[in-house]
């Protein structure tokens, strides 16, 4: 990659070779538009991947050190068993804090499912106890056995069955974003290759004349590579600007992938890697296409 970037910089200073390639034609706007569109999409794919990673970390951190104990018992025994559970938790190593949720907190938990008018006071809801573990953690199986002996109606939920699928889904979404960036790069390479082949084929007579006056294939190929690489860089820069502007106007501050589809802090530096990568892809694709086409011309 370092060698390709070094060649990319050398091509930027060889202005004399520009006269070999006609400045106009459909391949000019096709290359610029393709690079711009692909980088624009890559910005969103990168934002999606980073947002999914942040969401996975947030979900994992939020659920990793918490647990819930559900106490189900007849109304006349509910408070007694809840106190028994709190007593057990107070003497359990690894438990940082534990408290019984209020009716208002339980109503808030159920509101997204049943609406704001849920009559909590008239329903036989279990008592929920929120548990937070310390850095060392606790013995979940041992706690379950103690709860079974002291409070038979208590059930420990360590959120594992909720955390693992959510984190796995967010991780797969992050991988999908990275895969999308690779596919975008491959599609851009294919389109630029087609444009370079079309330009080389349409200038076959010019290439033959250049060979007659002593121009080597390496010089001719370098001229095409420089022109297409600079077009791709220009399009990529425009696509980057448009992509960043679009990300800026997206809603933020939520706790989902869509509302968090933006960059945070140092993540804003990552999109600026895309234009050089687009230029490198254009350089490699055009060089391979040019050398292959020149070998086929007689």
Reading the chain (298 residues) residue by residue, the pLDDT tens digits are 555 545 544 544 455 555 556 655 677 778 888 899 999 999 988 888 888 777 777 766 666 677 888 888 777 787 888 888 888 888 888 888 888 887 777 777 777 666 666 666 666 778 888 888 777 777 778 888 888 888 788 888 776 666 677 777 777 878 888 888 889 988 888 888 888 888 777 777 777 877 777 778 788 788 888 888 888 899 999 999 999 998 888 766 555 555 567 788 888 888 999 999 888 988 888 888 888 877 876 6
Looking at residue 39, its pLDDT comes to 92
d(CA 56, CA 86): 31
* Contact criterion met (CB below 8 Å) for 128 and 98: no
- Residue 168 phi, psi (nearest 5): -65, -40
List strand residue ranges (DSSP E) for the chain, in order.
Answer: 66-71, 95-100, 127-133, 154-157
| 68: in domain | no
Torsional class of 94: left (φ above 0), alpha (ψ -120 to 50), beta (otherwise): left
Range of the domain at 258: 2-60+164-295
| 80: in domain | yes
Enter the DSSP assignment of 153.
T
Claim to verify: residue 38 and residue 85 sit in the same structural domain: no
Q: Which residue has the tokens 């709860």?
A: 147
Claim to verify: residue 51 and residue 182 sit in the same structural domain: yes
Claim to verify: residue 80 and residue 207 sit in the same structural domain: no
d(CA 178, CA 42): 9
| 159: in domain | no
Claim to verify: residue 36 and residue 180 sit in the same structural domain: yes
Looking at residue 58, its pLDDT comes to 72
> How many independent structural domains does the chain possess?
2
Looking at residue 129, its pLDDT comes to 84
Claim to verify: residue 96 and residue 241 sit in the same structural domain: no
Claim to verify: residue 139 and residue 233 sit in the same structural domain: no
- Token pair of 40, please? 């624009």
Q: Which residue has the tokens 């992938």?
A: 257
Claim to verify: residue 215 and residue 270 sit in the same structural domain: yes
Claim to verify: residue 117 and residue 192 sit in the same structural domain: no
Claim to verify: residue 139 and residue 175 sit in the same structural domain: no
d(CA 268, CA 181): 17
* Contact criterion met (CB below 8 Å) for 254 and 53: no
Looking at residue 237, its pLDDT comes to 94
Q: Which of 152, 177, 199 is the last residue of a domain?
A: 152
Q: Which residue has the tokens 């290439």?
A: 207
């Amino acid at each position: 990659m370092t060698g390709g970037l070094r060649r990319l910089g050398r091509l930027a200073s060889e202005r004399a070779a520009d006269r070999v390639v006609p400045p106009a034609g459909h391949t000019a706007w096709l290359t610029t538009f393709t690079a711009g569109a692909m980088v624009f999409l890559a910005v969103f794919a990168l934002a999606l991947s980073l947002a999914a990673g942040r969401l996975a970390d947030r979900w994992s951190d939020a659920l990793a050190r918490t647990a819930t104990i559900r106490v189900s018992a007849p109304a006349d025994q509910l408070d007694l068993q809840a106190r028994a559970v709190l007593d057990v938790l107070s003497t359990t190593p690894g438990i940082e804090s534990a408290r019984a949720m209020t009716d208002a907190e339980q109503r808030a938990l159920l509101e997204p499912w049943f609406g704001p008018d849920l009559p909590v006071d008239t329903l036989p809801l279990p008592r929920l106890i929120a548990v937070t573990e310390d850095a060392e953690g606790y013995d979940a199986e041992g706690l379950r056995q103690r709860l079974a002996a002291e409070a038979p109606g208590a059930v420990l939920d360590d959120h594992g069955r909720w955390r693992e699928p959510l984190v796995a889904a967010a991780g797969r979404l992050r991988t999908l974003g990275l895969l999308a960036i690779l596919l975008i790069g491959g599609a851009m390479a294919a389109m630029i290759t087609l444009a370079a082949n079309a330009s080389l084929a349409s200038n076959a007579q010019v290439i033959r004349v250049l060979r007659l006056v002593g121009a080597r294939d390496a010089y001719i190929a370098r001229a095409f590579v420089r022109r297409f690489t600079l077009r791709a860089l220009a399009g990529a820069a425009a696509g980057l600007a448009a992509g960043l502007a679009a990300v800026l106007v997206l809603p933020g501050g939520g706790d989902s992938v869509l509302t968090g589809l933006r960059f945070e802090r140092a993540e804003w530096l990552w999109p600026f890697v895309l234009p050089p990568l687009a230029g490198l892809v254009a350089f490699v694709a055009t060089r391979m296409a040019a050398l292959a086409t020149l070998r086929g011309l007689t």
